[in-house]
Amino acid sequence: MGRRPHIPEPAGRRQVEAMAAYGVPEADIARVLGIDPKTLRKHYRDELDTGGIKANSKIAESLFRKAMGDGPQSVTACIFWLKTRAHWKETTVQEHVGNAGPIMKIQRVIISPPPRDSNGNLLSPPAAKGPPLLEHVGT
């Protein structure tokens, strides 16, 4: 003789949705209810899906309110929001050090294309306006 068919009750549905919201694995939820994980998924699919969504929504709302507020919590919440939702990243600055210590002078070379007139023809050097082809900038 086989098992009796499982008949979900409203209290069980609320319990499954709450446990899913807390992140309890499906196998553990099934064990608490005394049913097989396949039976859990068959009868409680909606509760399993919406429980996590509702929890994430509440957390997102709380995080959003904190990020929009004042104080140190708002700064932390803003940073977390921007990293996860806006794909911001922290950058690492590396300083290259030689035998004499840190680099003291950085030289930048800017290469500009030769100036052209409105037809795309090269301008002769006396009529050329703008920066020189090579410009050395020391900082």
Structural domain of 113: 102-138
Domain-located, residue 91: no
pLDDT (0 to 100) of residue 12: 96
130, pLDDT greater than 60: no
Per residue in 71-129, pLDDT tens?
Answer: 888 988 988 888 888 888 877 777 767 676 766 666 777 766 777 788 878 776 555 55
In the chain, how many domains are there? 2
Q: Are residues 122 and 77 in the same domain?
A: no
Domain-located, residue 97: no
**Where are any strands of DSSP class E within 13-133?**
97-98, 101-102, 107-111
Domain-located, residue 5: no
Q: Are residues 128 and 62 in the same domain?
A: no
15/29 Cα distance (integer angstroms): 9
Interacting residues of 82 by C-beta distance below 8 A, sequence separation 6+: 88
* Packed helices 26-33 and 10-22: angle between N→C axes, nearest 10 degrees: 150
Per residue in 17-50, pLDDT tens?
Answer: 999 999 999 999 999 999 999 999 999 999 999 9
CB-count burial class (<10 Å; 0-12, 13-18, 19+) for 21 = buried
Q: Are residues 14 and 74 in the same domain?
A: yes
